[in-house]
Amino acid sequence: MANPALMQNYGNRTLTLVRGEGNYVWDDADRRYLDALSGIAVCGLGHCHPAVTAAIQDQASTLLHTSNLYNLLPQEKLAEQLVALSGMDNVFFSNSGAEANEAAIKLARKLGNERGLACPKIIVTEGAFHGRTLATLTATGNPKVQQGFAPLPEGFLRVPYNDVKAIEKLAAEHSDIVAILVEPVQGEGGIRIPDADYLPRLRTLCDQQDWFLMLDEIQTANGRSGKLFAYQHCPGLLPDVVTTAKGLGNGVPIGACLARGKAAQLFTAGTHGSTFGGNPLACRAALAVLETLQGEQLIERATELGSQLLDQLQRELAGCPHVKEIRGLGLLIGIELDRPCGDLVELARNQGLLINVTAGNVVRLLPPLTLTDAECQQIATGVAGLIRDFAQQAA
C-alpha cells in the first residue's frame, strides 16, 4: 500500500526495500533480491559500492553546497574527464536525465532563434522516452505519458524509430527543423536496437541539413552498452549534443548535457542554470563512478556479461511460444513477448529477482555491471523459467 502522505503517481507499491549491498537489495522482512534492474539502469556498480560511498562520505565532510556562482573543483574535474572521454567540448550539469534533455532542447531552440525561426522544430521518434518535464514528455513518444497535460509545447515532429527515409521526407517538407533528438537504443520503448548504420546516416543527414544530432544516452551511457557512450559503437561518430544521467552517479542524482562545436557555444551567462546541478557531492560520486568503471574494466565486462546473458536466454527460450524476439546490447536486454506480461514482475519478485516489464510486453533486464558469472546465469535461468511457465499457462 502506498503511503497516503505521498502523491499517488507511482501507484500501489507493495515492496519496501531498506538496504542494498553489491548486486542485492533487502526488503523490510530481511528477504534478499538479486537486482536485475539496478534501479532502472542507475546502480551500474551495484549498491553502495565502496568507492562511491567513500567519495560521498569524504565530500559530505568537506563541502556539500555553495552555488554555481562560484568555481567548484569537483565539478571542473568531472567536466574535464567527461569531455576527454566523450570527444565533446563542454558540459552543463543538472540533477536528472529529464533536465539534461531539457538543456539539449533549449540548445536546439536557441539555435533556431538565432536563425530567426518563429517555431524551430526538433525531430523525435515514436516509442522514445526523454523524461517527464513538459518539454521532454512532449518529445517522448508515448501518448500515455502526455495524457492530461495539454497544452503541450509545440516544435516537435515525430517519425518512426529507425526510419531514416521518414526523416528525409520531413527535411523536404520543413525548412525550420534544427535538430534530431534520438536514443541510440530505446530503453523504455522496449530495448529497441536500430540498424547499425542508423546513427551514421543521421549524422550525415544532420551535416547536410545543418541540424544538431542530439543523442539521449540517459540510459545507455556509463558503460552499460559495452562502451562508455553507446554512440562510440560507431567509429568516428560524434553527436553535437549528448545527454546522460542514471548510471553517472550510481544513485546520487546527477545529469549532464555535453555539447560540441556550435552547440557548445550557445549557452552564455544567464541563459541557463541550476541551483543544485553539478554540486560537489554529486560530482565526487560521478568521479568515483568513472574511475571505478575504468579501473575495474567494467565497461568491457558489460560486453561479456551481456553476451553471456543473451546467449543463455536464447538457448533456454528457443522455441518457446509467445516469445517474439530476444535482443540486447551490452547489459541492455529485452525479451519481447506477443502479449502483455506485466505479471512477470511479481512472479520474479516471489523468486527473489527484481526485473521490469516495459512497453507492456517486453521483459527488460538492466543488471549491474558487477555481476558474477554465477549471478548472470541465475538471472538467465530464473527469467527463462518464468517466461516458459507464463507461456505454458497462456497456451
Give the H or E element holding residue 332. Answer: strand 332-337
What crossing angle do the helices spanning 280-295 and 73-86 adopt, rounded to 10°? 40
- The verdict on whether residue 274 carries a ligand-binding annotation is yes
How does DSSP classify residue 252? S
The one catalytic residue among 92, 93, 129, 267: 129
Cell of 144: 500515455
Strand partners, 129: none
Q: Does the annotation mark 246 as catalytic? A: yes
Q: How far apart are CA 364 and CA 130, in angstroms?
A: 17
- The verdict on whether residue 390 carries a ligand-binding annotation is no
Cell of 308: 553471456
How does DSSP classify residue 22? B
- The verdict on whether residue 275 carries a ligand-binding annotation is yes
Q: How far apart are CA 82 and CA 91, in angstroms?
A: 8
Q: Are 289 and 44 in contact (CB under 8 A)?
A: yes
Cell of 209: 541539413
Radius of gyration over every alpha carbon of the chain, rounded to an integer in angstroms = 21
- The verdict on whether residue 129 carries a ligand-binding annotation is yes
- The verdict on whether residue 219 carries a ligand-binding annotation is yes
CA separation, residue 245 to residues 180, 187, 188, 331, 362 (Å)? 19, 14, 15, 16, 23
Cell of 391: 507461456
Q: How far apart are CA 362 and CA 360, in angstroms?
A: 6
Q: Does the annotation mark 262 as catalytic? A: no
The one catalytic residue among 240, 246, 267, 390: 246
Please state whether the peptide bond connecting residue 194 to the residue before it is cis, i.e. omega within 30 degrees of 0: no
List, in sequence order, the alpha helices (H) in the chain.
38-41, 50-60, 73-86, 97-114, 134-139, 143-146, 164-173, 198-209, 280-295, 298-316, 343-350, 373-394
Q: How far apart are CA 320 and CA 28, in angstroms?
A: 36
Q: How far apart are CA 141 and CA 274, in angstroms?
A: 27
- The verdict on whether residue 216 carries a ligand-binding annotation is yes
The one catalytic residue among 216, 227, 267, 390: 216
Q: Does the annotation mark 212 as catalytic? A: no
| Binding-site sequence positions for N(2)-acetyl-L-ornithine | 132, 274
| Binding-site sequence positions | 97-98, 129, 132, 216-219, 274-275
| Binding-site sequence positions for pyridoxal 5'-phosphate | 97-98, 129, 216-219, 275
User: What residues are annotated to the active site?
Assistant: 129, 216, 246
